[in-house]
Amino acid sequence: MRRRELILGAGAAVAWPLAAGAQQSGRVYRLGCLFAAPRDAPHHVALREELRAAGFIEGKNLWTDRDGYGLRAEQFDKHAAKLVKAEGDLIDEGGEAAMRETQNETTETTILD
């Protein structure tokens, strides 16, 4: 049960900054990703399901960075810089190395670990 609570909490944490200002009609929210784990890992799938349940639909009002999965640690810095330059709404990353590289690139973009 604790794993389910963690996943639900992560989903809420991602959805909250995107929805905090109320969804604007026609707006596409941008979610950057920085992970060593592949996109089809269970926790990533669960997060996307929670976002969908909160009304964020990929291809409709949510763009998700598909290049940010399955990265090696030495790729984090370049991808983090790319995400910050793209000026997304939120960067979701996993692990200390990804977090460190993201924090080195920005203090303005919301980061979810």
Question: Do the Cβ atoms of 47 and 113 come closer than 8 Å?
Answer: no
Residue 71 · residue 34 · CB < 8 Å: yes
Which residues make Cβ contacts (< 8 Å) with residue 89, sequence separation at least 6?
Answer: 17, 18, 29, 30, 31, 109, 110
Percent of the chain with pLDDT over 70: 71
The residue ranges of the chain whose pLDDT is under 70 are 1-25, 107-113
Residue 6, pLDDT score = 47
Domain hosting residue 12, numbered range: 2-20+27-112
CATH number of the domain that residue 56 is part of: 3.40.50.2300
DSSP, res 38: -
pLDDT of residue 97: 80
pLDDT on residue 38? 95
Q: What is the pLDDT of residue 16?
A: 54
Tell me what pLDDT residue 52 has: 92
Q: Look at residue 111 in the predicted model and tell me its pLDDT.
A: 62
- Based on the structure, what is the number of domains in the chain? 1
With tokens 């409709």, the residue in question is 60
Q: What is the pTM of this model?
A: 0.69
Q: What was the pLDDT predicted at 102?
A: 76
pLDDT at residue 84, as a whole number: 85
